[in-house]
Amino acid sequence: MVVCDLNVIDLSEFASRKLDIARQLLNVGTEIEFFYICGHGIAQTDIDAAFELNKGLFALPREYKETLANDRANKGFILGYSAERMKAGILREGYLSGFDNSRMQQIWPGRDHPAYKPGMVQFMLQCHEIRSRASGQNWLQTRACCNNHCPAVEGVHLPERMLRSIAHTDFEILTLLFQQVGQPGLEVCPGKMTTRATVKSQGTWIPMDPKPGCITCNIGDALQYLSDDCLKSTYHRVRTPRPHEYKGARASMAYFANVRNSTVLQGPLKKYPALTFNNILAMKLQAPTNQIEQKVLEEYSPEDYLKYQDDLPVGPEYE
């Protein structure tokens, strides 16, 4: 598959190239919205080690993983383990870690995977260093990581349009996405005028395949709000493999950089009212979801699940 020809921004020698890098970031943020960074300072061995930690986590028995319970009390985050299942098996499972959230204490893996917490915390500290350099200040205070695992689909009949992750935008400031080379599936629908009404009917989806040595980055809803729409939070999705593609397991790690919930955001042009991030997030969560309880979805055939996906709304939460 041809990798989408998007900009790759080199962060090496950051101190002496800060202005040039800032211009490149502004360019891709206003024209492309998804981009890659290299020269980021995280060794490939450290990235591989983090993927191995997550591989070990998702290999644990289902009964144990489900004790790492979701915490829905933290608005906007569903902390801990979750899974999307249908009759044919797991479509996607994930584990969301909030590194400055006290609710995590009860849902970190314990004796069954003791290396997980210290290893992932150390990895996220390396991600934190990247975003600290990029922001130039300490206003991006919170951090979370969503680790995803999509099981192999070899021998499993799935409709061609089935998605492992439906079209959505991220609600934070910035996402750093780690993918593994040889595991395609991520697609983006760029365009300033893309709306929830057009992304499903006439959106053009282009692949955002992994590049060796690069981190995939995208702008979130909060940064779009703060920039008065100069920077666009772009729709993206993960599709299931085509007949000729790799059908093994797919793994990814998404690091979310964000402000605290109480931070007030407003752009220089004041296109939108001054609101806290928590207010902006609430606007997103008020949108209808058409979601069905997981226990019901587990009885769905792949065809039923595809219809359910087709009926789900997508889109930014303020337009």
Q: Is residue 97 part of a domain?
A: yes
DSSP label of 263: -
Domain count, the chain: 1
Which pLDDT score is estimated for 63?
92
Which CATH number fits the domain that encloses residue 152?
Answer: 2.60.120.330
Contacts 24+ apart (CB under 8 A), 272-277: 272/225, 272/228, 272/318, 275/225, 277/222
Structural domain range at position 75: 8-311
Residue 78 lies in a domain: yes
- Between the alpha carbon of residue 244 and those of residues 46, 154, 160, 166, 173, the distances in Å are 31, 11, 12, 22, 36
**165 phi and psi, to 5 degrees?**
-145, 125
Counting Cα atoms < 13 Å in the Cβ hemisphere of 91 gives 24
| CB atoms inside a 10 Å sphere around CB 84 | 17
In a domain, 217, yes or no: yes
pLDDT tens, position by position, for the chain (319 residues)?
334 445 899 988 888 888 888 888 888 877 767 899 999 999 999 999 999 999 999 999 999 998 997 655 444 457 899 888 888 788 899 999 987 777 788 899 988 999 999 999 999 999 988 877 665 555 666 678 899 999 998 878 888 888 898 888 888 889 999 999 999 999 988 764 455 555 655 567 888 999 999 999 998 889 989 999 888 888 889 999 988 888 999 999 999 988 888 899 999 999 999 999 888 888 777 766 666 777 778 888 888 888 888 877 665 544 4
Residues 6+ apart with CB under 8 A from 64: 112
Residue 2 belongs to a domain: no
Other Cβ atoms closer than 10 A to 105: 7
Instruction: State which amino acid sits at residue 106.
Output: Q
Residue 69's pLDDT is: 74
pLDDT at 287 (0 to 100): 65
CA distance 62 to 31: 43
- Tell me the C-alpha distance between 53 and 62, whole Å: 17
Asked whether residue 304 is assigned to any structural domain, the reply reads: yes
Rounded Cα distance, 318 and 297, in Å: 29
| pLDDT on residue 182 | 93
Q: Packing angle between helix 44-58 and helix 116-135, nearest 10 degrees?
A: 130
